[in-house]
Chain A
Amino acid sequence: MLDIENLHASVNGTDILKGLNLSVKPGEVHAIMGPNGSGKSTLGHVLAGRPGYTVTAGKVTFLGQDLLELETEERARLGLFLAFQYPVEIPGVSNMEFLKAAVDAQRERRGEKPIDAVSFMKTARETCKAVDLDPVFLKRGVNEGFSGGEKKRNELLQMMMLQPRLGILDETDSGLDIDALQVVARGVNSMRSPDRAFVMVTHYQRLLDFIEPDFVHVLAGGRIVRSGDKSLALELEARGYAWLEEEVA
């Protein structure tokens, strides 16, 4: 589904990713861990196509297409979703309006008509319940005045409404209390299916207690330096990253 070969990328002239390789198959959940500044978040943004993030070498194939050739919005419509670490506010634009526009953009790409307001509202309300968000949030401005936890649950709401093929979660667990973390985990687990994959960027083993990954990768110095199963995460939890960095050096 997603194949990354020898990816090099820079931000503001600084090289961050330096030859990253990763292959994700449908149905899999990959966890990307690593020390601060190793390029974990950069990877998500490069895949999503954030302006200012320059790919200097390498190749990324997503669902058979050359991902790097596509515009940001085209990648999204194809089914790539990035849950942001710091979701921005868009005052005055209601969550509902925003969600519907996003859903309709995907439908349009598939040659479908815009979703009718009634079934959209029904799905949106049900999804709110699933992520433990009061439906009143649908009427509020996108992330406007939301608490940190509400913003994260709002990201999850968007992901569940859009039903992407690949969900990239950028430190979705940071700043969440244990209850909120469980809500997020329940949401992601409910979406796991044989034709959908997840890439979770995280600092902590804690998230992986609730969302069990098939693979764990350690990103350091812009490359994946170690891959393993979930036991690798436990080892990291116990020993930290320093030993790995030393080994690589």
Chain B
Amino acid sequence: MSQEHIDEAISREYAAGFVSDIESDTLPPGLDEDVIRFISARKGEPDWLLEWRLEAYRGWQQMTEPKWAHVHYPPIDLNAVSYYSSPKSMKDGPKSLDEVDPELLAMYEKLGIPLHEQEMLAGVAVDAVFDSVSVATTFRGKLAEAGVIFCPISEAVHSHPELVRKYLGTVVPRKDNFYAALNSAVFSDGSFVYIPKGVRCPMELSTYFRINEAKTGQFERTLIIADEGSHVSYLEGCTAPMRDENQLHAAVVELVALDRAQIKYSTVQNWYPGDAQGRGGIYNFVTKRGVAHRDSKISWTQVETGSAVTWKYPSCILRGDNSVGEFYSVALTNNFQQADTGTKMIHLGKNTRSTIISKGISAGHSSNAYRGLVRMSPKAAGARNYTQCDSLLIGDRCAAHTFPYIESRNPSAVVEHEATTSKVSDDQLYLCQQRGLDAEKAVSMIVNGFCKEVFKELPMEFAVEAGKLLEVSLEGSVG
């Protein structure tokens, strides 16, 4: 883009009076530099961040959508997307649970979600809000005492600019890939976490987050920094079904584990998967990556049951010597869902270790692919990886694929890969039914058994919910 164009864009922005008195809360569809300036201005961002976004945008314009994943979907018209929409006012929400879609409520019920959380998730504008505010305040007080910073990233830009500026984009560079570049240009909001040196975060960063989750946008951006010797466990997502009008979701998550730090990042993803005929549903194209410094550890645990199309590879760059990376994943697809998910373990330091346990479950007409890269660099002496990749098929119309990539450039590195594919057999179902269990209960029990190794990595109360979530997601997959 020439200097004239830039100048023109800037002047147009002012001419339109974007900054001060905008009437509409939602931008018309389409993306250009003006849109990015508008977003940045609405958030009152400093100049450096605007420039950062614009640079990402310019890079993105040169990029093309990746096509290598084992998923098929009609082309996405990125000019039909609106890139800014301010959070809906609580006044517009339903007044009570009576006004909420009964199907949604039935799902909450099955998952055993407490009533006050149901209200928050459904956006009910009642006392629940006061409740959440007070709960949140209590949490914040406790965290502040420990020196932990936990706030929206848009707030951190103002309150802790030095940290944001230092780390933003250092793990997932702005031009890393098509969707990460798009996210860098237009990201809406997300979480920022900083754990000071030697501090063990006093609580799971989950409950509080769950309350706020429902309002996060389409281009979420999260940055977590665990300073030397600190510990944090972060839980993203929610077992409750998430409905969203935005079809495309392109999030970026960056984790930085400094020397001896430990980060455990758990995700439960249950976006709308589309209906039983494969209509609708979210496209979830996510870039998640962590950098592990000396003696540190990054652990990803994910339970993926939602979205029509998933494209997601939470990865670890094991930069420091003796650092550890872990990836535990359950990905379940039903009906016409498609998932291409896995991880990358990039071993750079000496004696780095990684473990990958992936459990893919396919039912209905769905397709489920594991894609993983283990790379041992020339300097990664004594590095080790263990990968176990299991697929379970339910019915005879679904598919499971495994695409493991192994690159070893160090003779002392050890890479192990085990893979199995099995089917929920008619004999297993018959045994269960002969003992009095109905087919759905039987399948959910078999699937839960299959996922046990991953579920035990989840925070306790969530493991139970995740089990129920699989049960709900598998409904209608047998008989």
Residues of chain A having any CB pair with chain B under 8 Å: 48-52, 71-73, 76-77, 81-82, 84, 87-88, 90-94, 97-98, 101-102, 105-106, 109, 141-142, 158, 162
Contacts and interface: CB of A to CB of B under 8 A. Distances in A.
Interface string B405-439: 00000000000000000100111101111111111
14 contacts: A49-B433, A51-B426, A72-B430, A72-B433, A73-B433, A73-B436, A73-B439, A81-B434, A84-B431, A90-B432, A92-B450, A93-B446, A141-B449, A162-B435
A139 B446 CA distance: 15
B449 A90 contact: yes
Contacts of B43: none
Contacts of A87: 431
A73 B437 contact: yes
A93 B449 contact: yes
Interface in B448-467: 448-452
B44 to A, nearest CB: 52
Given A90-B428, A91-B450, A92-B450, A76 B445 contact: no
B200 interface: no
B77 to A, nearest CB: 43
A91 B449 contact: yes
Interface of B: 422, 425-428, 430-439, 441, 445-446, 448-452
A48 B433 CA distance: 9
- Please give me the 5 A-B residue pairs with the lowest Cβ-Cβ distance, nearest first: A92-B449, A93-B449, A105-B436, A102-B435, A76-B436
A77 B441 CA distance: 14
A72 B441 CA distance: 14
Given A73-B433, A102-B436, A88 B427 contact: yes
A63 to B, nearest CB: 15
Nearest to A99: B435
A105 B438 CA distance: 9
Contacts of A92: 446, 448-452
A62 to B, nearest CB: 14
B430 A50 contact: yes
- For B430, B436, B437, the residue with the greatest tally of chain A CB atoms inside 10 Å of its CB is B436
Contacts of A98: 432, 435, 445
Contacts, number: 77
A199 B264 CA distance: 55
Contact of A106 (B426, B436, B439, B450): B436
A100 B445 CA distance: 12
Contacts of B431: 84, 87-88, 90, 142
Nearest to B450: A92
Contact of A48 (B432, B434, B450, B451): B434
A76 B434 contact: yes
Nearest to A91: B449
B435 A90 contact: no
Contacts of A72: 430, 433-434
Given A92-B452, A101-B445, A76 B428 contact: no
A106 B438 CA distance: 11
B450 A105 contact: no
Contacts of A73: 433-434, 436-439
Nearest to A141: B449
A201 to B, nearest CB: 15
- For B422, B431, B445, the residue with the greatest tally of chain A CB atoms inside 10 Å of its CB is B431
- For A50, A84, A93, A101, the residue with the greatest tally of chain B CB atoms inside 10 Å of its CB is A93
Given A105-B435, A105-B437, A51 B430 contact: yes
A155 B425 CA distance: 19
Contacts of A52: 426
A97 B445 contact: yes
A90 B392 CA distance: 12
Given A76-B434, A81-B434, 7 more contacts: A72-B434, A90-B428, A93-B445, A101-B445, A106-B436, A142-B431, A162-B435
A49 B432 CA distance: 12
A82 to B, nearest CB: 5
B211 to A, nearest CB: 31
B428 A88 contact: yes
A86 to B, nearest CB: 8
A158 B435 contact: yes
A98 B449 CA distance: 10
- For B433, B446, B451, the residue with the greatest tally of chain A CB atoms inside 10 Å of its CB is B433
A173 B438 CA distance: 29
A102 to B, nearest CB: 4
A88 B450 CA distance: 15
Contacts of B432: 90, 98
Given A88-B427, A141-B449, A77 B436 contact: yes
Nearest to A83: B434
B443 to A, nearest CB: 11
Contacts of A77: 436
A141 B422 CA distance: 16
Given A90-B428, A91-B450, A92-B449, A101 B433 contact: no
Contacts of A102: 435-437
- For A48, A84, A101, the residue with the greatest tally of chain B CB atoms inside 10 Å of its CB is A101
A93 B433 CA distance: 15
A185 B435 CA distance: 21
Contacts of B451: 92
A18 to B, nearest CB: 24
Given A88-B428, A101-B441, A76 B435 contact: yes
A101 B437 contact: yes
B383 to A, nearest CB: 30
Contacts of A97: 445, 449
A137 B408 CA distance: 41
A88 B441 CA distance: 17
Contacts of A162: 435-436
